[in-house]
Amino acid sequence: MTEQYYSRTYVEETRLGFAFLRSHTWQHHVLRVAINDLRSLFSEHLPENPVILDAGCGQGKSFQYLHKVFNPVQILGVDADPASLKLSGEEAERRRLNVELIGGDCAALRLADASVDVVFCHQTFHHLVEQEQALAEFYRVLKPGGYLLFAESTEAYIDTWVIRWFFRHPMHVQKSAAQYLDMLREEGFQFAAQNVSYPYLWWSRARDFGLLERLKLVKPKPFGEREETLINVVARKPPQAPLEGDIS
């Protein structure tokens, strides 16, 4: 069932962007790769039978990969676009997955405190205008010890002619990889270096899509000498501190 509530505090995709989110390239080279990479960044065992919130679920193409990797007992899909939610419902039904869809804004989630085990936020954050509020909502709805799986394109990628020409984003809120990490820390999320990766994938190098490197005309810049185009983080909400006198 999809609840009817929509907010306009995000920037909609263009028609081209909407079509791209149905493509094989998006599903195989972007979603699948990101989820597998996030899986590799866990320091602890994966949560068992989690409830997963797919924040900005779009057309539901992530559902199959989340189910395969995390075996959730339920997926909650939140999106502010009615057309996307309709397609998400069809995707869930086609794959026979337990998905509840909620129309709404990531900055005002209509979910109870500490009600989900994992928040999956993939390529959603750079569409949101109220980023601080959305991150606070992710923190609120996560159970103590729950995980935020954060996968984002950075300003270095979003602010290129190819992306600005074909897609639409709120440019005044775009951030670097370091700024995203600072934002997560300031909200209270915990993570270490082993919980962060900086994929430098061909499609994220919008100036030439890595063509010059593949032709061996230029050498790839190593980490620390380039502007990072992508950042993946497995960040944890701190486990609940034991009560005073609790020796368990």
- Note whether residue 244 is domain-resident: no
pTM here?
0.85
Cβ atoms < 10 Å from Cβ of 113: 9
Check whether 75 has a pLDDT greater than 80: yes
How far is 76 from 58, CA to CA, in rounded Å? 12
How many domains would you assign to the chain?
A: 1
Domain with 197 in it: 2-236
Span 44-52, mean pLDDT? 95
Q: How many residues in the chain?
A: 248
- Note whether residue 246 is domain-resident: no
Span 133-146, mean pLDDT? 97
The DSSP 8-state label assigned to residue 240 in this structure reads P
- Note whether residue 144 is domain-resident: yes
Q: Tell me, what's the pLDDT at 245?
A: 46
Span 189-212, mean pLDDT? 75
Check whether 242 has a pLDDT greater than 50: no
- Note whether residue 201 is domain-resident: yes
Residue 98: CATH number of its domain = 3.40.50.150
Lowest mean pLDDT among 35-39, 190-194, 221-225: 221-225
- Note whether residue 156 is domain-resident: yes
- Note whether residue 119 is domain-resident: yes
Average pLDDT, the chain: 84
Check whether 215 has a pLDDT greater than 80: no
- Note whether residue 48 is domain-resident: yes
How far is 95 from 110, CA to CA, in rounded Å? 26
Q: Which of 94, 39, 37, 38 is nearest to 61 (CA)?
A: 94
- Note whether residue 129 is domain-resident: yes
